[in-house]
Amino acid sequence: MMNLPENIFIKHAKYIADYRIAFLFTDGHSTEVDFHNFLAAPGQNPMASQFLDVIRFKKFKVENRSDIIWGDWEMCFPFAALYAGDLGVDSLGNRSASSKRGSVRKGIRQAGASRPPARTKGLSTMRPTGKSNAK
């Protein structure tokens, strides 16, 4: 389990190229996540695979300074995954044993104290199996 710092938010999210987005957090931590392996996974849910269209992929939004979303919540990831730079991390900071890790570049700062559970309310993770916890 990964410990997440409290009261940290996404300060900036910037499209880099292809399916890569760089994240800068309010504590100075940064990550760069490549979403391609997730989007191109065999059997991917069409709600997520539609974002293989780079034009659609580039239209992400940061909502509430803690969520990155596409469309009307058609695809989103837990804050913990973005902070860890690992799409296999769930909203509690646990790494899924069955998830496949994409290309990730992590910042140099390490995570600190754990984040309160209220922080993860409403977040979901879409898995390469095509199943979603989204409501």
pLDDT of residue 46: 86
Residue 76 included in any domain: yes
The rounded distance, in Å, linking the Cα atoms of 98 and 19 is: 22
How many domains does the chain divide into? 1
pLDDT of residue 97: 57
CB 36 within 8 A of CB 63: no
Report the CATH number that the domain containing residue 50 is assigned in CATH. 3.30.2020.10
Structural domain that includes position 53: 10-120
The reported pTM is 0.68
Handedness of CA 112, 82, 118, 64 (dihedral sign): positive
Residue 127 included in any domain: no
Residue 62 included in any domain: yes
Residue 130 included in any domain: no
Residue 126 included in any domain: no
The rounded distance, in Å, linking the Cα atoms of 36 and 33 is: 9
**Tens digit of each residue's pLDDT (9 = 90 or more) over 4-53:** 767 899 999 999 999 999 999 999 999 999 999 999 999 888 888 899 99
Residue 131 included in any domain: no
